[in-house]
């Protein structure tokens, strides 16, 4: 437990327009390690926050390529190398009948890569979150927007960040300690 350093500083917003400008100001102030929790999807907020585009599509793409290659190898090696069976005079390996398997395995590995990469990128599964016992934070599932600036951010300092959050229009600015129950 680091002394005096809280886990994060939280502030609540009630107006989505104020939240938008607050997100832009936080981004422009140079904060990077901060997050906003909203009860519903707010379009364009990721841009206002300066969130970088996810690398998830690239993982999906390479998952698909791996699936395609493994399907070709599977069909070719089992049919034409390891255990040759002549069925209806068909060739041992051909793209024509290999295609359904290639298609399916491409899709399957794309889906699996996407699914597990998403879990990894979202740091799931996660059984405990430091913010979850904060009463104000729970409003983020109801009628308010919550901004959290984490102490891991380079620009973080308890005093200044508190002041900054109040300036950009947050109500009820408060610290949350890690492991505090």
C-beta closer to another protein: residue 102 or 140: 102
Task: Give min distance, CB of 96 to another protein, in A.
Answer: 5
CA 153 – CA 143 distance, rounded (Å): 27
Binding residue (CB under 8 A) for another protein from 96, 142, 143, 159: 96
CA 110 – CA 84 distance, rounded (Å): 30
Region of 9-17, 92-100, 104-112, 140-148 interacting with another protein (CB under 8 A): 92-100
Q: Which of residues 52-71 bind another protein (CB under 8 A)?
A: 53, 57, 61
Q: Determine if 87 is a binding residue for another protein (CB under 8 A).
A: no
Asked if residue 20 lies in contact with residue 46, where contact means CB atoms within 8 angstroms, the answer is no
C-beta closer to another protein: residue 16 or 99: 99
Residue 51 per-residue DSSP state = P
Task: Please return the burial class of 82, using the count of CB atoms within 10 Å of its CB with bins 0-12, 13-18 and 19+.
Answer: exposed
Q: Determine if 97 is a binding residue for another protein (CB under 8 A).
A: yes
Q: Determine if 99 is a binding residue for another protein (CB under 8 A).
A: yes
Q: What is the length of the chain? A: 181
Q: Determine if 16 is a binding residue for another protein (CB under 8 A).
A: no
Region of 26-34, 94-102, 105-113, 161-169 interacting with another protein (CB under 8 A): 94-102
Q: Determine if 84 is a binding residue for another protein (CB under 8 A).
A: no
Asked if residue 71 lies in contact with residue 101, where contact means CB atoms within 8 angstroms, the answer is yes
C-beta closer to another protein: residue 22 or 102: 102
In DSSP notation, 137-174 reads GGGGGTT-EEEEEETTSTT--HHHHHHHHHHTT-EEEE
Token pair for 89: 């005079």
Residues that bind another protein (CB under 8 A): 43-44, 53, 57, 61, 88, 90, 96-97, 99-100
């Amino acid at each position: 437990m680091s002394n005096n350093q809280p886990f994060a500083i939280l502030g609540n917003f009630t107006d989505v327009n104020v939240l938008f400008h607050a997100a832009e100001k936080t981004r422009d102030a140079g904060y990077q390690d901060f997050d906003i929790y909203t009860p519903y999807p707010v379009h364009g907020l990721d841009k206002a926050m300066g969130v970088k585009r996810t690398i998830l599509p690239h993982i999906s793409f390479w998952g698909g390529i791996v699936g395609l290659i493994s399907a070709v190898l599977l069909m070719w090696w089992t049919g034409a190398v390891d255990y040759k069976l002549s069925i209806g005079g068909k060739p041992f390996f051909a793209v024509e009948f290999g295609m359904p398997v290639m298609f399916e395995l491409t899709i399957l590995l794309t889906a699996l890569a996407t699914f597990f990469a998403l879990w990894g990128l979202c740091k799931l599964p996660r059984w405990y979150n430091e913010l979850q016992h904060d009463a104000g934070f729970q409003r983020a599932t109801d009628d308010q927007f919550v901004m959290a600036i984490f102490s891991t951010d380079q620009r973080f300092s308890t005093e200044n960040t508190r002041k900054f959050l109040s300036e950009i229009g947050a109500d009820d600015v408060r610290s949350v300690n890690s492991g505090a129950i």
